[in-house]
Amino acid sequence: MKIFLDTANLDELRAAAALGIVDGVTTNPSLIAKEGRSNVEQIRAICEIVDGDISAEVVSTEAEEMIREGHELAAIHPNVVVKCPLIPEGIKATKALSSQGIRVNVTLCFSAAQALLAAKAGAYIVSPFMGRLDDIASEGTELIREIVTIYENYDFPTQVLAASIRGPMHVKDVALAGSHIATMPAKIFHQLFKHPLTDIGLEQFLADYRKTLAEVAVG
């Protein structure tokens, strides 16, 4: 499963990318707004930090305008994937952009039926928001499982990107469900490393090593 970071913050991206296991980045208008720069400027800067798929979202709601925006975003860098919302106009734009060789991430997906439409439009990625479903007492992980099954049933090449992830358990759950990608805030990415037994075990190993060194030195 690929790991993407769901942030537009350059410091967070630099720190996480330095670990060498970040495969891409997802952004949305809310994440870009926090950084105080234009979408184009921020996406360009992100592309210089992470070498992988970088999702950049359109803000229009009409297909024609989404297609124009999509071309503008795709021109920023070859790694840019254009994000379109899962509404009829977004699906129309996805079909057009995909036919023109521009990769599209269909976002704001909340049902398997919607995901089927995204795949039929030629989406490169579909983004089911599992956390926002869990927030309203609906099964986010089950949705990921259903979409993966439907795509496998019909050999759709569209990748499932589990979005709106709320914690390390979600990451494990979507990996078990067969998600191709999980995108997560930087904080959750760093939490994945944590286990108290790792810290205790390492402390013990190093203490024993230092003790042996001291004993050898004394003779």
Catalytic residue numbers, as ranges: 83
By CB under 6 A, tell whether 163 contacts ligand G3P.
yes
Member of 132, 167, 175, 190 binding ligand G3P (CB under 6 A): 132
CA-closest candidate to residue 109, choices 152, 161, 32, 38? 161
Member of 52, 131, 167, 168 binding ligand G3P (CB under 6 A): 131
CA angle 64, 65, 68 (to 5 degrees): 95
Distance CA 37, CA 32 (A): 7
By CB under 6 A, tell whether 2 contacts ligand G3P.
no
What tokens were used for 82?
Answer: 């254009």
Options 9-17, 46-54, 126-134, 140-148: segment touching ligand G3P (CB under 6 A): 126-134
Member of 103, 183, 188, 189 binding ligand G3P (CB under 6 A): 183
Residues within window 94-123 making contact with ligand G3P, judged by CB under 6 A: none
Of residues 117 and 125, the one with the C-beta less far from ligand G3P: 125
Cβ-based burial of 92 (10 A; exposed 0-12, middle 13-18, buried ≥19): middle
Q: Which residues bind ligand G3P (CB under 6 A)?
A: 6, 26, 28, 129, 131-132, 163-164, 183
